[in-house]
A and B are shown apart, each in its own frame.
Chain A
Amino acid sequence: MSVPGPGLLALGWCYELWPDGASVAVGRRPIDPWDAVTHRVWAATRGAPDHPAGQPWTPADVARVAGTTGPDTTAVLGDLVAQGAVVGIDPAEPRPVARTLTLLPLAEGWGNSAAEPTVYRYGLGDVELARLPRVLHDALSLVHRWPDLAAACDGLAAMARDAGVPMDEARDGDALLRLVVGWLPVWCSIGLVCVQPAGEV
């Protein structure tokens, strides 16, 4: 199977990890355990903390982070696409794919503070993972209300408009969706969220 693009997203939640492999559930479906190379490529497909938001996370990025050769990476990515554990997405036009996806938050919200009321922090245990503006905090915390990520961004943009919440660059559903999808390689790589098939979380 060929690798879609231009960007890639990893789907699933890793629930078991050994030196020589891992087990991941995609939506409500546990996938047969992977070997270490397959898991490394899948984990690299999640992205990187320093990736520029809005840029596609490409197969070349995956190979660089996974430390695998181009042909090996392409072969493994093809298998992962066939298993539904990787999808291609264009961060500039994400709607068709976003209709099939949703987000499962994996961290806790730590709220904002009187000193920084526009900054919403997320973390797990005692580790702070991210500081998000209101618009992205709302997207992350309320995405579950809608059947898929595209519908969530449309709904959130409408809610914000009705409530008079400043949306800046996320002025409508399409713009908010591009913003959220553009951040996914960062969010997934730090464990803030995992991407799952719509309707399966």
Chain B
Amino acid sequence: MADVDQRWPGLVLPVGHRLGELHDPSSPGPRQVVVRHGATAELLTPEDSRVWERAHAGGEPSGARAVAVARRLLGLGVDPDEAVPRLVARGLLVHVDPRDDDAPRVSATVRARPSGQATGAAPDGTTGYGLPGLPPLTRLTGRHVDVWLAAVLATDLRRAAAGVQALWAEDLDGAPGPDLERRVLVDLWDVVAQMVSAGAGHLDTAG
């Protein structure tokens, strides 16, 4: 497992809007999952369906860590070294290390979309997200509400990070540049991983 820890830095998150399993009475066979991403709605093969579904963290943001996803895939008997790059290439997964120099490029390939909406503020000042009238799927602090809004409104997550930098210009310590962008991207991806893991949002293909 130590080897897995070292080779899977950052986060792996599913990309696409789940449309569910499709059963075609005229052609019985294995269940296949339909995923809408970008301008397409794609019918995944049973194996790809399992990988894509398994990339969902199931409520815990730590489950979006790349090493956690790799371990879950190994538990399925799937080789993450083969499956993750293959689905990344097809735009169905994103693998990003927000601290890495490549993070801005990867961030520009995806955008965030909401699932559900604000459900109300808690006494501690956090805002819940999910279905109004029901317990929230997750909660964000006021500062992270701004980050999630920027993520949802921008056409990709690199632009979202630029929006957050502009919003927080007076609060952020440091001159604009790669270091500041990296710090904002780390915050942004933390929030995105939390919302996607909780089912309160999903990623989509940018552009």
A residues touching B (Cβ–Cβ < 8 Å)?
A: 13-19, 22-23, 25, 28, 30, 104-114, 117, 120-121, 124-125, 127, 129, 141-142, 144-145, 191, 194
Cβ-defined contact, A191 with B117, below 8 A: yes
- The digit string for B7-35, where 1 denotes a CB below 8 A from any CB of A, is 00000000001111111110010000110
Q: Tell me which residues across on chain A come within 8 A of B199, comparing CB atoms.
A: 108, 124-125
Q: Is the CB of B153 within 8 A of A25?
A: yes
B61 at the interface (CB under 8 A from A): no
Residues on A with beta carbons closer than 8 Å to the beta carbon of B114: 13, 15, 104, 106
Of the candidates A16, A23, A25, A191, which one forms a contact with B132 in the assembled complex, judged by CB atoms under 8 Å apart? A191
Which listed residue, B21, B127, B131, touches A17 by the CB 8 Å rule? B127
Known: A15-B152, A125-B199, A142-B41. Contact between A112 and B22, CB under 8 A?
Answer: yes
Q: Identify 28 residue pairs between A and B in the complex whose beta-carbon atoms are under 8 Å apart, listed by A's number.
A: A14-B118, A15-B127, A15-B148, A16-B121, A17-B121, A17-B127, A18-B120, A22-B118, A25-B153, A30-B149, A104-B114, A106-B117, A110-B21, A111-B20, A112-B22, A112-B23, A113-B23, A114-B25, A117-B25, A124-B116, A125-B116, A125-B199, A141-B17, A141-B19, A141-B34, A141-B36, A141-B41, A191-B116
Q: Mark B109-128, 1 if CB is under 8 A from A, else 0.
A: 00001111111110000010
Interface centre among B22, B118, B149 (most CB of A within 10 A): B118
Q: Are A16 and B118 in contact (CB under 8 A)?
A: yes
For the complex, give the distance between the alpha carbons of A121 and B132 in Å.
19
Q: Interface extent on B, as a size class?
A: 35 or more
- Min Cβ gap B41→A in Å is 6
Best-surrounded residue of A105, A109, A114, A120 (most CB of chain B within 10 A): A109
Contacts of A28 in B (CB 8 A): 153
Q: CA of A104 to CA of B202 in the docked complex: distance in angstroms?
A: 12
Report which B residues bind A (CB closer than 8 A). 17-25, 28, 33-34, 36, 39, 41, 113-121, 127, 130-132, 134, 137, 145, 148-149, 152-153, 199
Chain A residues lying within 8 Å of B117, measured Cβ to Cβ, are 13-15, 106, 191, 194
Residues of A within 8 A of B116 (CB): 106-107, 124-125, 191
**Residue from A16, A114, A121, A145 in contact with B20 in the complex, judged by beta carbons closer than 8 Å:** A121
Contacts of B130 in A (CB 8 A): 124-125
Residues of B within 8 A of A120 (CB): 20
CB-CB under 8 A from A104, the residues of chain B are 113-114
Residues of A within 8 A of B131 (CB): 124-125, 127, 129, 191
- Residues of A contacting B118 in the complex (Cβ-Cβ under 8 angstroms): 14-17, 22-23
Q: How far apart sit A18 and B118, CA to CA, in the bound complex (Å)? A: 9
Whose C-beta in chain B lies nearest to the C-beta of A189? B132
Report Cα–Cα, A146/B192, bound state, in Å: 27
**Chain B residue at minimum C-beta to C-beta distance from A141:** B19
Q: A15-B117, A106-B115 are in contact. List 15 more A-B contacts (CB 8 A).
A: A14-B117, A16-B145, A19-B120, A108-B20, A109-B19, A109-B34, A111-B22, A113-B23, A114-B25, A117-B25, A127-B134, A141-B34, A145-B39, A191-B116, A191-B131
Neighbour of B115 across the interface among A30, A107, A144, A145, CB < 8 A: A107
Verify B152–A25 contact, CB threshold 8 A. yes
Measured CA separation A16–B129 after assembly (Å):
9
Question: What is the chain B residue whose CB lies nearest that of A43?
Answer: B132
